[in-house]
């Protein structure tokens, strides 16, 4: 596969599958270099060389144990810019960095701001739904103050739901899903967890 430098138009050396495999192995051995390696892989569209349909598909297949990692806060603006300029959507960028979409929207290059693009969900139960991502608008309204006892009660009730019927219902449904649909469900749940984790980190620093 012959590639060209997007900035200069200069043709660069062809990348082989062996080059991609070497990069993947470096990520596995050296977690501290994961972000530069992933940015390199995205910028060179290495999933096409490996035969995957997308970066997300390659990331989930090749880095099963790394899908929960989160980019260091100080490196996020630069990484977000690199991933977005390389063509990843806000959702793909957020999933790769382990952050919420709001974080991507706040830190992405100005010329890409709000460009999240249409995405299709996998077919589940015979239906395919097109999801059009809209521009994120930050809600600056103050959060209503809740009494501590009410918060504790609501939290306990919510956790009990997660451990009980709600969780069992999702598990039972997942057993009837296709592998592709289960993968989509995992991504959706992981995205929610990432957003909760981000909220936790942001409020812990206040």
Read off the pLDDT of residues 37-84 as tens digits, 9 standing for 90 and up.
999 999 999 999 999 999 999 999 998 877 778 888 888 999 999 999
Read off the pLDDT of residues 127-150 as tens digits, 9 standing for 90 and up.
333 333 333 333 334 444 444 444
Helix locations, 17-143, DSSP H: 17-29, 34-43, 46-50, 55-62, 76-85, 90-97, 101-107
Q: Is the whole-model pTM more than 0.75? A: no
Sign of the dihedral through C-alpha 10, 15, 21, 26: negative
Question: Tell me, what's the pLDDT at 133?
Answer: 39
Report whether 191 contacts 95 (CB < 8 A).
yes
Percent of the chain surpassing pLDDT 90: 24
Most confident listed range (122-126, 127-131, 161-165, 166-170): 166-170
> Stretch 168-193: mean pLDDT, rounded?
79
Instruction: Count how many Cα atoms sit within 13 Å of the Cα of residue 126 in the half-sphere of its side chain.
Output: 0
- Report the mean per-residue pLDDT for the chain: 74
Measured between alpha carbons, how far is 83 from 59 in angstroms, rounded to an integer? 14
Measured between alpha carbons, how far is 60 from 127 in angstroms, rounded to an integer? 24
Confidence band, pLDDT 50/70/90 cuts, at residue 12: low
Report whether 104 contacts 80 (CB < 8 A).
yes
> Stretch 88-95: mean pLDDT, rounded?
92
The domains of the chain are located at 3-147
Question: Tell me, what's the pLDDT at 114?
Answer: 58
Q: How much of the chain is in helix, strand and coil states, percent to nearest 5?
A: 60, 5, 35
User: 109 or 29: which carries more pLDDT confidence?
Assistant: 109
Q: What would the DSSP string read from start to end of 41-73?
A: HHHTTHHHHHT-SSHHHHHHHH-GGGTT----G
């Amino acid at each position: 596969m012959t590639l060209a430098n997007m900035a200069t138009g200069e043709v660069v050396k062809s990348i082989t599958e062996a080059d991609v495999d070497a990069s993947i192995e470096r990520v596995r051995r050296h977690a501290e270099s994961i972000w530069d390696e992933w940015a390199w892989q995205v910028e060179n569209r290495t999933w096409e060389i490996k035969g995957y349909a997308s970066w997300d598909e390659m990331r989930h297949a090749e880095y099963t144990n790394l899908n929960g990692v989160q980019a260091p806060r100080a490196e996020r603006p630069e990484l977000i810019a690199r991933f977005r300029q390389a063509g990843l959507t806000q959702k793909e960028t957020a999933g790769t960095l382990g952050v919420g979409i709001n974080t991507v929207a706040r830190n992405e290059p100005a010329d890409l701001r709000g460009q999240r693009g249409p995405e299709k969900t996998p077919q589940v139960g015979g239906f395919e739904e097109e999801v059009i991502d809209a521009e994120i608008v930050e809600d600056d309204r103050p959060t209503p103050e809740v009494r501590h006892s009410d918060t504790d009660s609501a939290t306990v009730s919510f956790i009990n739901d997660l451990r009980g019927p709600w969780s069992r219902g999702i598990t039972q449904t997942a057993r009837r899903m296709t592998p592709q649909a289960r993968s989509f469900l995992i991504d959706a749940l992981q995205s929610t967890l990432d957003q909760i984790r981000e909220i936790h980190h942001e409020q812990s620093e206040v």
